[in-house]
Amino acid sequence: MMIDPIRSLSPFQFNKKIRVRVYRIWRPKVIGKDNAFGGLQCILVDEMKDAIQVSAKEIDYENVAPKIKANHVYEITRFSTSRCKPSYKIVPHEAQVCFNTKTNFEELPGVHPNIPSHRFYLLDYSQLSSRIDQYDILTDVLGRITAVKPLEDRMINNERMEKICEVKLQNIRKEDVNLTLWGDTAKTFDFEALEHLTPPSLGVFTSLKAMI
């Protein structure tokens, strides 16, 4: 069975085979429900430096999660594709891969330097205004971390309290942008590690929404 490049995948396909690195895995929380999760999400990248988002339903989580690890390379078969929901789109691909209990993962040993460890679609600060309140795709930015505020509590929609962390980035043109990290992302931000880095400290932040 021949390897299909990520760029060749389209919604509503079956019987495909991909060779990819899993470079990010997370467990999305159900908003407004404590300790409730919505399956599994991850991002895959192939040797052509293309990326695609993956989704697995909560009912399939226990079966799928133990079979994949971040930064490992796999040949994957017996999956389907669907159309990526605009409000959750992290990479510029119209399709997303859907893992299920029948999906097969064959881990490939070795280093595989031809497959990148990460793939970001960085947006120049001058283009951020075009993304304000546009949720068809989320945003990645890179910059020097110039300031980080301590964690604080903030009321969300007059319903619940969430932890937030505010971070200021600066690009090579000395332009600044302010980021607000929410919930688990804010709570897991490693303040201590940042203090021990030799300046300048650079950071890549992904899956952001641009707002005023």
> Does 151 reside within a domain?
yes
Name the domain boundary from 107, 134, 155: 107
What is the gyration radius of the CA atoms in the chain, in angstroms? 18
In a domain, 84, yes or no: yes
Q: Which residue has the tokens 């995948």?
A: 9
- Statement to judge: residues 191 and 141 lie in one domain: yes
Verify that 18 and 100 share a domain, yes or no.
yes
What is the predicted pLDDT for the residue at 174? Answer: 95
Residue 31 CA: distances (Å) to CA of 53, 157, 187: 20, 12, 16
For position 184, what pLDDT does the model report? 81
Q: Are 132 and 95 contained in the same domain? A: no
* 159: confidence class by pLDDT, cuts 50, 70, 90: confident
* Residue 114 domain-assigned (yes or no): no
Euclidean distance between CA atoms 98 and 58, whole angstroms? 12
pLDDT in tens, 5-60: 999 999 999 999 999 999 999 998 776 666 778 899 999 999 999 999 999 999 99
* CA pair distance 84, 1, nearest whole angstrom: 26
pTM confidence score: 0.86
Query: Which among 18, 108, 17, 16 is positioned nearest to 71, based on CA atoms?
Result: 108
**124 has a pLDDT exceeding 70:** yes
Q: Is position 119 within any domain?
A: no
Note whether 23 and 97 are same-domain residues.
yes
Q: Is there a single domain that holds both residue 40 and residue 96? A: yes
Do the domain assignments include residue 34?
Answer: yes
Backbone φ and ψ of 162, nearest 5°? -130, 150
Q: From CA 204, how far away is CA 119, in angstroms rounded?
A: 11
**Are residues 130 and 79 part of one domain?**
no
Q: Find the CATH number of the domain harbouring 57.
A: 2.40.50.140
Q: In this structure, is residue 115 part of a structural domain? A: no
Please tell me whether residues 46 and 85 are part of one structural domain. yes
- Tens of pLDDT, residue by residue over 61-120, are 999 999 999 999 999 999 999 999 877 789 999 999 999 999 999 999 988 999 999 999
- Three-class SS of residue 104? strand
- Angle CA(162)–CA(165)–CA(170) in degrees, nearest 5? 150
Let me know whether 97 and 144 are in one domain.
no
Distance CA 27, CA 195 (A): 28
Same domain, 86 and 21: yes
**Residue 1 placed within a domain:** no
Q: Which domain holds residue 203?
A: 125-208
pLDDT at 32: 64
Do 135 and 169 lie in one domain? The reply is: yes
Q: Is residue 40 part of a domain?
A: yes
Count how many Cα atoms sit within 13 Å of the Cα of residue 77 in the half-sphere of its side chain: 6
